[in-house]
Amino acid sequence: MTEAPVKLRLDKWLWHARFFKTRSLAARQVAGGHVRVNGDKTDKPARSVCVGDVLTFAQARQVRVVRIEALGVRRGPAPEAQTLYTEIGPDPERPAEQTSKAPGFDGTGRPTKRDRRAYDLSRRRSLE
């Protein structure tokens, strides 16, 4: 079995840990300056990371803050990838509260035909 390296490229680690689907996507995110290593912005995908480094980056609609626990030697299955890091940011299971909702959305879904008729009737009366 291959020994785990002491240092690993940042883009390769992000790909191993399954934060990005491809290594080129990870490299593009790093090259765009969207990843911080121990609080310092980096734009070099080849930057070396080691165990104990803290990474901060945006993924989907949330900011991820993770501590590197292991470097790994391959891009394995998801359970194996989750052992490479510890989440230290906000709880990923519970998204942050939205401060502004879409206008007119009350959470009940699409209006029924009866609701639309009542709405149309109220609009006609207000125009008269």
C-alpha span between 114 and 11 (Å, rounded): 54
Q: pLDDT tens string for the chain (128 positions)?
A: 566 678 999 999 999 999 999 999 999 999 999 999 999 999 999 999 999 999 999 988 889 999 999 998 999 999 999 999 999 976 656 555 555 445 555 667 788 899 889 888 888 877 76
- In the numeric block, which tokens belong to residue 7? 């240092």
Cα(4)–Cα(12) distance, integer angstroms = 13
| Per-residue pLDDT at 96 | 54
How far from 43 is each of 10, 11, 65, 67, 86, CA to CA, in Å? Answer: 10, 11, 17, 19, 23
H or E segment and range at residue 78: helix 78-81
Q: Structural domains in the chain?
A: 1-92 (3.10.290.10)
E strands, the chain, in order: 8-9, 35-37, 40-42, 48-49, 54-59, 62-68, 85-87
The pLDDT of residue 119 is: 87
Overall pTM > 0.75: no
